[in-house]
Amino acid sequence: MEKINAVITGVGGYVPDYILDNEELSRIVETSDEWIMERIGVKTRHILKAEQGSGVSYMMKRAVRQLLFKTQVDPASVELVLCATTTPDYHFPSTASLIIGELGFSNAFGYDMETACSGFLYALETGANYIRSGRYKRIIICAGEHMSSMVNYQDRNTCPIFGDGAGCVLMEATTEELGLIDGYYRVDGQGYDYLHMEAGGSRNISSHETIDQRLHFVFQDGRPVFKHAVTKMSDAVETIAKRNGLTSENITWLIPHQANVRIESAVARRLGLSEDRVMINVDHMANTSAGTLPLCLWEYEPKLKKGDRLIFTAFGAGFSWGASYMIWGYDGAPEAAKSPAQFYKEGEISREEWKKICINRAS
């Protein structure tokens, strides 16, 4: 029997309209554009503000609608929807169920995965294994966050870092030597003290006290997280590169988790890669946690070519981290997707319009 590989065949994304820049942020907390640019490299971030109360599914649905529109795939042919997020709309039901219900995935199952900033990487591996098993042929992986729902805008240590957004990919079976080739993933359980949200789970349930003590926000001790992020991502990338004969000569793109430009540069340096081969969106999207990697693909899709060698790497709470090697499956983006502005808009199409598109395509 021929070996089955799992390849990405389309990308969608969505970021909210509202842009919070460093100038506005410096009126909220004591900070400056200069400090943020020097220490983090973030100029602006998108915030789900006007649509407050919408949750992460609001952004994921828009990203997925756009993906279906671009790929012209029939929602009824999708067998699985995986959602990587740490900011689900609810503890339950799952975000995946909200997406499946609203977008007409009449033959799919789905569930959420929570591994903070490593979420997309782990969901990609999970999804690929469903396909490699031979039992599933077409799945969607969503990843993104409503980070502003858990960022403390009184804490200058964390509030400049994060933004909101969601991306998604279509993954399909192929017998070509394409798609997710190798992965290295680890969790060490040593990260709680440095990166966590203390209350709101089953251990420290929500109460007046937890709210008064502001325990429902991201806590981060930045320096140790920074050090671990650089070391673990660099080691993971090196492991994957060595195992697959990849060098600075033949890697086309490095796609690092977007937490801080200094972290991304350090990982790229270890591989000996020049800046023009590193996907970066942290400067205008900030850290969208699980969303950073698919949002990079979303923006760089027009530049990608079939056969490109990609290395993804991520690091997040837990600590959790890893790296994946992927051979890209198609050239550029569909003609209509070449203008991101159009697709920001396309992500906003209404349910009625969406139904019309599906009906037109089916007929």
Name the segment binding ligand UT7 (CB under 6 A); options: 44-52, 132-140, 153-161, 298-306.
153-161
Find all residues with CB under 8 Å of 38, minimum gap 6, and list them: none
| Residue among 83, 117, 159, 296 flagged as catalytic | 117
Q: Does 27 bind ligand UT7 (CB under 6 A)?
A: no
Q: Does 203 bind ligand UT7 (CB under 6 A)?
A: no
Q: Does 290 bind ligand UT7 (CB under 6 A)?
A: no
Strand order in the sheet with 179-187: 179-187, 320-327, 309-316, 253-256
Name the segment binding ligand UT7 (CB under 6 A); options: 48-56, 143-151, 155-163, 297-305.
155-163
- 44-46 vs 80-84, strand pairing mode: unpaired
Q: Are 23 and 34 in contact, with CB atoms under 8 Å apart?
A: no
CA 166 – CA 296 distance, rounded (Å)? 11
What would the two tokens of residue 8 be? 């990405």
Q: Does 297 bind ligand UT7 (CB under 6 A)?
A: no
Residue 317 CA, chain-centre distance (Å), reads: 15
Question: Residue 152 or 252: which CB sits closer to ligand UT7?
Answer: 152
Name the segment binding ligand UT7 (CB under 6 A); options: 49-57, 259-267, 339-347, 350-358.
259-267
Site string for ligand UT7, 69-108 (x = CB under 6 A): ----------------------------------------
Our answer to whether residue 216 is catalytic in this structure is: no
- DSSP at 122: H
Our answer to whether residue 257 is catalytic in this structure is: yes
Which of 229, 241, 285, 293: binder of ligand UT7 (CB under 6 A)?
229
CA 51 – CA 53 distance, rounded (Å)? 6
| Residue among 5, 260, 281, 287 flagged as catalytic | 287
Which of 132, 137, 156, 270: binder of ligand UT7 (CB under 6 A)?
156
What would the two tokens of residue 13 be? 């994304």
* Closest residue to ligand UT7 using C-beta atoms: 222
Closest CA to 295 of 160, 144, 175, 72: 144
Find all residues with CB under 8 Å of 36, minimum gap 6, and list them: 22, 25, 42, 43, 160
Helices within 197-251 (DSSP H only):
208-212, 222-243
Please, what is the minimum distance in Å from the beta carbon of residue 124 to ligand UT7?
Answer: 17
**Where on the chain is the footprint of ligand UT7 (CB under 6 A)?**
31, 35, 39-40, 117, 156-157, 160, 222-223, 225-226, 229, 259-260, 263, 287, 315-316
